[in-house]
């Protein structure tokens, strides 16, 4: 208990400090005026570590304590994710006030839509149900669950982004609402880029929420198969074993930190796949925003669906059209102009006997992210060109 109580108080103190940015974002008063309140929040949160230490000491089963450590790490990571959004909007409103205001309005409009919560719920439900579905893959059910969950975290935010941008941008232009904004000192560039970033951050919030569930679903599926004797417990990371051996060893504080370290490992394994999948979301959203400057909502959604299908089929069409000059030319043209959506497929890195090399996987993730950034920039530049000559009056 001598080691456990100070450790729990420090961990809860970190939770209290991590809550300050989003608590500040919910308040309209100045930080100095709310400083006593923030001090009380941090102090009370740190004191909550004392009863938590007694709870852990009363049930010192290593697996249970490690599970509490995983839960602590997930809550801390979730708070840091919210802090990231607060920092993003604070930076935009500080250094790009006009576009930041448009982005904040678009973000709030996106997350207030029932579609946002409905799609998030359906995607989460699909991931949870995938745990108990029999796949008859002779011990490869965990890989199937990973492939399904990554596909859902890629598809659901993309659907939301395309529909939301089609509705938001098209309706404001067609309904002449954009005239009110553009009559103020807001340029068309601020309007279009602000809309894109606001909807992109809303889609990122959906990806982060589903990614949070994704990690827990992978853990639940692994333990579900482990209880049936299908899988074996993987060893702890070497860095975690070395750290605990030099500090707390296999005590209750050590088991708590071990669970926290295992959560970091689980997040590190899932993060590259989430980044790759979100690259497709950002790319399709940029295409949708660019098309929304000229096309109505229904046509825009239909065109984005065509882009999605052809983006996946173009490489296959190029392969199978050898010897057919005209068909091959059209396929290569599609492959050149349309986004290379197969690059965002993480199934090749998941469905394999051995996990991918971490260094090569990280480099591939970085290359895909750069490709998504370049194509997104090109699509938005095209949208700005189309929007520049659009009559909104």
Q: What is the mean pLDDT of residues 125-129?
A: 91
pLDDT exceeds 90 at position 125:
yes
The mean of the pLDDT values for the chain is 82
For residue 305, give its domain range.
96-388
End-to-end CA distance of the chain: 71
Do both 18 and 139 map to the same domain? no
pLDDT value at residue 289: 92
User: Looking at 95, 112, 146, which one is the last position of a domain?
Assistant: 95
Give the span between the Cα atoms of 335 and 327, in whole angstroms: 12
Q: What is the mean pLDDT of residues 117-141?
A: 83
Do both 231 and 211 map to the same domain? yes
Nearest to residue 304, comparing CAs of 164, 133, 134, 116?
A: 164
**Of the segments 129-133, 198-202, 336-340, 343-347, which one has the largest average pLDDT value?**
198-202
pLDDT value at residue 199: 94
User: Looking at 95, 122, 143, which one is the last position of a domain?
Assistant: 95
pLDDT exceeds 80 at position 15:
yes
Model pLDDT for residues 313-339, shown as the tens digit of each residue: 888 888 777 777 787 788 788 888 888
Q: What is the mean pLDDT of residues 24-44?
A: 75
pLDDT value at residue 6: 84
Give the span between the Cα atoms of 89 and 105, in whole angstroms: 11
Do both 153 and 40 map to the same domain? no
Which is more confidently placed, 44 or 230?
Answer: 44
Distance of CA 189 to the CA centre of its chain: 26
pLDDT value at residue 356: 75
Nearest to residue 303, comparing CAs of 379, 387, 202?
A: 379
pLDDT exceeds 80 at position 156:
yes
Q: Extract the tokens encoding 365.
A: 């993730």
Do both 340 and 322 map to the same domain? yes
Q: Assess contact for 176 and 376: CB atoms under 8 A.
A: no
Do both 61 and 112 map to the same domain? no
Q: What is the DSSP string of 11-60?
A: HHHHHHHHHHHHHHHT--S-TTTTHHHHHHHHHHHHHTHHHHHHHHHHT-
Model pLDDT for residues 349-368, shown as the tens digit of each residue: 666 666 777 788 889 899 99
Nearest to residue 388, comparing CAs of 307, 299, 290?
A: 290
Model pLDDT for residues 61-95, shown as the tens digit of each residue: 777 888 888 888 888 998 998 999 989 998 998 88
User: Looking at 25, 60, 95, which one is the last position of a domain?
Assistant: 95
pLDDT value at residue 246: 61
User: Using 50, 70 and 90 to split pLDDT, how confident is the model at 20?
Assistant: confident
- Rounded to two decimals, the pTM is 0.88
171 located within any domain: yes
Model pLDDT for residues 256-303, shown as the tens digit of each residue: 888 888 888 888 888 888 999 999 999 999 999 999 888 888 888 999
Which is more confidently placed, 30 or 19?
Answer: 19
245 located within any domain: yes
pLDDT exceeds 90 at position 144:
no
């Amino acid at each position: 208990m001598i080691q456990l109580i100070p450790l729990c108080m420090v961990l809860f103190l970190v939770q209290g400090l991590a809550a300050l940015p989003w608590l500040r974002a919910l308040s309209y008063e100045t930080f100095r005026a709310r400083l006593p309140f923030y001090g009380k929040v941090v102090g009370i949160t740190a004191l909550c570590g004392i009863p938590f230490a007694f709870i852990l000491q009363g049930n010192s089963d290593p697996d249970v304590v490690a599970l509490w450590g995983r839960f602590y790490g997930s809550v801390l990571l979730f708070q840091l994710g919210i802090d990231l959004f607060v920092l993003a909007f604070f930076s935009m409103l500080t250094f790009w006030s006009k576009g930041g205001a448009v982005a904040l309005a678009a973000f709030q409009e996106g997350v207030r839509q029932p579609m946002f919560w409905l799609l998030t719920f359906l995607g989460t439900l699909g991931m949870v149900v995938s745990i108990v579905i029999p796949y008859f893959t002779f011990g490869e059910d965990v890989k199937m669950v990973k492939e399904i969950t990554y596909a859902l975290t890629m598809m659901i935010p993309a659907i939301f982004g395309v529909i939301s941008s089609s509705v938001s941008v098209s309706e404001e232009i067609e309904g002449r609402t954009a005239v009110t904004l553009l009559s103020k000192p807001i340029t068309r560039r601020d309007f279009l880029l602000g809309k894109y970033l606001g909807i992109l951050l809303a889609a990122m919030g959906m990806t982060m929420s589903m990614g949070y569930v994704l990690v827990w679903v992978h853990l639940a599926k692994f333990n579900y198969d482990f209880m049936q004797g299908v899988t074996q417990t993987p060893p702890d990371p070497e860095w975690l074993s070395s750290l605990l051996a030099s500090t707390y060893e296999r005590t209750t504080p050590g088991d708590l930190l071990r669970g926290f370290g295992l959560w970091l490992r689980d997040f590190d394994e899932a993060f590259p796949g989430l980044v790759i999948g979100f690259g497709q979301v950002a790319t399709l959203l940029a295409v949708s925003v660019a098309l929304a400057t000229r096309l109505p909502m229904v046509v825009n959604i239909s065109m984005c669906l065509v882009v999605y299908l052809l983006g996946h089929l173009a490489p296959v069409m190029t392969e199978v059209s050898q010897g057919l000059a005209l068909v091959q030319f059209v396929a290569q043209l599609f492959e050149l102009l349309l986004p290379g959506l197969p690059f965002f497929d993480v199934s090749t890195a998941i469905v394999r006997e051995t996990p991918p090399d971490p260094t090569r996987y990280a480099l591939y993730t970085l290359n895909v992210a750069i490709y998504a950034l370049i194509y997104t920039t090109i699509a938005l530049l095209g949208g700005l060109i189309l929007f520049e000559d659009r009559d909104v009056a």
